[in-house]
Amino acid sequence: MKMQIAGKTVDHVECHLYVMDKISLQHCEDELVAAINVHKEICESIDDQELQDEYNEAFVDDFARAEKALEDVQWQLLKESL
């Protein structure tokens, strides 16, 4: 269940970025921090190293995608403010 929560949080951040302002940007950043915390809890609960490695790899890919989207929005907001 927690794996789904972490993944859905990252997906939510990506969807939310289509309508973005500074308040929404902070909200998304906070959600990504929360997803990292959930990810840590999940990793601590997985005993099988192979399964843990697979989960880490999937999460890192998803997180990197969301982080890149956030960076793109930050640049867009910066350009609009100039």
Could you state, in chain order, the average pLDDT of each consecutive group of 10 residues for the chain (82 residues)? Answer: 58 60 74 83 87 85 80 77 74
Residues 6+ apart with CB under 8 A from 59: 6, 7, 10, 39
Please state, as a whole number, how many other Cβ atoms lie within 10 Å of the Cβ of residue 33. 10
pTM (two decimals)? 0.61
What residue has token string 């907001």?
77
Spans of all domains in the chain: 2-81
Q: What is the pLDDT of residue 7?
A: 61
**Burial of 49: CB neighbours in 10 Å, binned 0-12, 13-18, 19+:** exposed
